[in-house]
Amino acid sequence: MRIEPEGPRGRVLRISGELDVATAPDLQSALEGLTGTPGDIRLDVSGLEFMDSSGLKVLVFAARSLGERGRLVLVHPSPPVARVLELSGLATAPNIEVEPVSPEP
């Protein structure tokens, strides 16, 4: 899995590869420094090919850690990740927003 910061304040991360039990701690570490400060955190997950329950746990923990200071925004989930978000109920969980890929005109 690759985690690449984007944007001027570092509150946007692009995640690609596989988010699983082996890589979830890396994402958790990257998010820990961001969840303590106010503002939304945007994760571009368009390049994420796979996510298991370990990845879901990290996302839920980050959203809860933000509390009322911000939201966790998952941007353009790939089809397999969108399916996991839907099946798990995370797509409609409190403090989490999913921005789907816009349909092509």
The closest alpha carbon to 43, from 101, 103, 97, belongs to 97
Least confident of 22-31, 54-63, 81-90, 96-105: 96-105
Determine if residue 49 is left, alpha or beta; phi over 0 gives left, psi from -120 to 50 gives alpha, anything else beta.
alpha
> Is the CB of residue 19 less than 8 Å from the CB of residue 1?
yes
The HSE-up count of residue 77 (CA atoms within 13 Å, CB side) is 20
Q: What's the predicted TM-score (pTM) here?
A: 0.91
pLDDT tens figures, 35-47 = 999 999 999 999 9
What mean pLDDT is predicted for residues 74-97?
94
Q: What is the rounded distance in angstroms from the CA atom of residue 49 to the CA atom of residue 35?
A: 24
As beta bridge partners, residue 15 has 3
CATH class of 2-99: alpha beta
Which residues, at least 6 apart from 44, have a Cβ–Cβ distance to it below 8 Å?
Answer: 6, 12, 13, 14, 15, 75, 76
